Amino acid sequence: MTDERDLALAAALRQIADAMVMSAAARAGVPPGIAAALPPAVDAGAQRAAPKVKRKVSAYSRAYGQAYRKLRKKATLKSGKLRKGVTHKKLVKQAHAEAKRLTNGRRRR
């Protein structure tokens, strides 16, 4: 049912877009024969693109994100600022070291 409504909405939008193109062409002084030859806004028989396949998040990436969030929470003051002596760069470096420890420092070959 949703697909039918989507197709009906798409057809209505195509008609509106085509009308806008034709009226703009008429205002610009484009001859009617050339205006009729203009391509429609969207091909009526166009198929939908297949949904993108999401990549699998690696174990290291998950471990890094977890470590970074934990360190960031420790280093953040009530006001939301980082405490003195702590920078984003230092947090990232510590998080990578922690992630390496969590994943046993293993690398894929």
Structure confidence at residue 41 (pLDDT): 53
Q: How many helices (H) and strands (E) does the chain have?
A: 4, 0
13: closest CA among 47, 48, 49, 40? 40
pLDDT band for position 3 (50/70/90)? confident
| Amino acid letter, residue 15 | Q
Task: Determine the pLDDT at residue 17.
Answer: 79
Mean predicted lDDT score pLDDT of the chain: 83
| HEC secondary structure over 84-99 | CCCCHHHHHHHHHHHH
pLDDT in tens, 17-50: 777 777 777 777 777 666 666 666 555 555 677 8
* Rounded average pLDDT over 71-89: 96
Structural contact between residues 10 and 45, judged by C-beta atoms closer than 8 angstroms: no
| Sign of the CA dihedral with 82 first, then 86, 89, and 93 last | negative
pLDDT at 46: 57
User: What are 91-105's pLDDT values in tens digits?
Assistant: 999 999 999 999 987
Angle of the 88-102 helix axis to the 59-75 helix axis, nearest 10: 130
What global pTM score does this model have? 0.51
Q: Inform me whether the pLDDT recorded for 76 exceeds 90.
A: yes
